[in-house]
A and B are shown apart, each in its own frame.
Chain A
């Protein structure tokens, strides 16, 4: 069976991660920032899976499961925060919330 070279997997994970990061840094809408964070988490999950397949270790898949639960929890908390934020400020623009500057 033709196997996908491990480099491809890592490159894909890297690209996904950078896309997520760029999203986090450039998006002003908090919902999109949260989504970009999810992409970053999934990129790291992908990297684990690829590595686990290459070195035939089960820990990578265990880590992925953990990242999955982590991401679910993070989304739950994050969405809760976003709702609170919207109630308080009637906006989801992250730039508005800069009152804690030194």
Chain B
């Protein structure tokens, strides 16, 4: 039964091929079932394989489909590696992915490029499954680049608008920085350890390298570079908010639930490497902490519903990085899972809101939607509660574990914990700011919605995701075998005060949000009165000026160089050859007079010259 694992990426790939080989001309009633059905089949297989795996009691299972290439000692294959970690990932990808596909059949039903949309989506799921199931870093890298490509294609899905194309290119180029770093990391690992099979590589690393050795630090730093790019963490976080240019199901699937968490998966997968480089592991936590705080501030100032959610995604992945950095591996993956539930829910619900309001994304032009859009209202309510870690929702358990994991770290652990708690406070503010502004108060909409869009295939996934976002925290994630070498996880031993603080702080954030945006006890305009506050707001609104900084430091100099070198200095040498031969040609063309007598003369003249040369020499 476990051998069926090779079917997992195959179904979406077949779906992609079916959709793409028909040139996107399939009618919607066929393309929709193919697109969503292939993921559904994949999910069925994943569930089957997972239950079989759990029952078998195996620690891990390897299935080799075929050898990809064989060069000397280097023979990566399409080999799938199943353990607790990849099992959780594959269930998230196929399960949440299926719900999002189902939702998309409704959301995209009016789009003329319906089949093209699903072909990209299927390719994405296939690549993502390769990424998490691959037992060697080459297959992982194939999936890694595959999801990057699909992300690019889907952000620029509505390519007739140049801004979307720009956002797609930005996402591609920025993640490319990380991908390059990761590729160099793979080269280093192969050169030093002679294998790219993940388990063998990790084993060899533990044998050959000592704790904190230069190679371990370099390799984990380079892998971290790739993870940071893919997961939109500091300093490569700038692409994710712009990636919201894509259709909303894309934002839910790729830019919230699955692809952006690939970096978290990569670090968790190679965690022994990071454990051997404690300084880099600390850097992971630090990056996570700074990212979660910065994007929390930014999310509070945004006005676009999807950008708020995008910044909150960056912030939540920051929590995952924090968890990875402090060694709370399973907590990070647990948060990855619950985040996939509630953030997919929030994005899909925002899709319903946007569609109901005829593609309006500005939250200040919504307002009072709770009666008009009941399903989105409850989806947002539950998603927001889970996002702010309201007690006994899914986000509460996972965020709690990360923060408690931080607290267990000696020394700086307390500061990480404090930063995470402050971040949770901001999460409460920005999440419920969105919630209150959109669903309460007076309607500001230009075209108030008559009724909520959506049939069963849009509302069904929302309801299922609501249940998952509420109860997802009770799912036991079988990760002990992966991270603790089989030992059971020890319970956290902390005082009631700490627990109280962690419960109270998000509630405090919600309360602050309530006072500002619901009861209007305080007014934002009052806060914004000062010049300093205005500038600060503009600064945060622009994402801490990272875009401006990168434009000034990287983009502008590059464009300047490009402009200087417009004529291509190196190429001028070759251009010279061309112009010289053209001049010579023009010269010789003159001798081609077309006059027979002239030709005869040249023949005779040539003969005379030859003969006299022969005579002289």
Please give the residue numbers on chain A whose beta carbons come within 8 Å of chain B beta carbons, in ascending order.
21, 24-26, 28, 33, 94-95, 97-102
Contact = CB atoms under 8 A, between A and B. Distances in A.
B594 A25 contact: no
B595 A24 contact: no
Given A21-B604, A25-B604, A101 B592 contact: yes
A25 B596 CA distance: 9
B594 A94 contact: no
Nearest to A27: B597
B608 to A, nearest CB: 10
21 contacts: A21-B604, A24-B600, A25-B597, A25-B604, A26-B597, A28-B597, A33-B596, A33-B597, A94-B597, A95-B595, A97-B594, A97-B596, A98-B593, A98-B594, A98-B595, A101-B593, A101-B594, A101-B595, A102-B588, A102-B590, A102-B594
A25 B593 contact: no
Nearest to B590: A102
B600 A25 contact: yes
A82 to B, nearest CB: 12
B30 interface: no
Contacts of B592: 100-102
B589 interface: yes
Given A25-B600, A28-B597, 9 more contacts: A24-B600, A25-B597, A25-B601, A25-B604, A33-B596, A95-B597, A98-B594, A101-B593, A101-B595
Contacts of B589: 102
B594 A100 contact: yes
Contacts of B588: 102
B168 to A, nearest CB: 50
Range of interface residues on chain B? 10 to 19
Nearest to B588: A102
B294 to A, nearest CB: 69
Interface in B569-616: 588-597, 600-601, 604
A21 B390 CA distance: 110
A1 B590 CA distance: 57
A22 B556 CA distance: 72
Q: Which 5 residue pairs are nearest across A and B when measured between Cβ atoms?
A: A102-B592, A101-B594, A98-B594, A102-B589, A100-B594
A40 to B, nearest CB: 10
Contacts, number: 34
Contacts of B590: 102
Contacts of B591: 102
A94 B604 contact: no
A94 B377 CA distance: 95
A3 B97 CA distance: 113
Nearest to A37: B600
Contacts of B596: 33, 94, 97
Interface string B333-371: 000000000000000000000000000000000000000
Nearest to B605: A25
Q: Which of B589, B592, B594 has the most CB of A within 10 A?
A: B594
B607 to A, nearest CB: 10
Contacts of B597: 24-26, 28, 33, 94-95
A89 B474 CA distance: 100
A95 B593 CA distance: 10
A97 B593 CA distance: 10
A94 B593 CA distance: 13
B48 to A, nearest CB: 76
B254 to A, nearest CB: 60
A102 B592 CA distance: 5
Nearest to A18: B604
A26 B598 CA distance: 10
A59 to B, nearest CB: 22
Contacts of B601: 25
Contacts of A100: 592, 594
A99 B588 CA distance: 17
A74 to B, nearest CB: 15
Interface in B348-404: none
B605 to A, nearest CB: 10
B505 to A, nearest CB: 87
B602 to A, nearest CB: 10
Interface string B419-440: 0000000000000000000000
A26 B604 CA distance: 13
B595 to A, nearest CB: 5
A97 B596 CA distance: 8
B330 to A, nearest CB: 80
A98 B591 CA distance: 12
A102 B594 CA distance: 7
A91 to B, nearest CB: 13
A24 B595 CA distance: 12
A99 B604 CA distance: 22
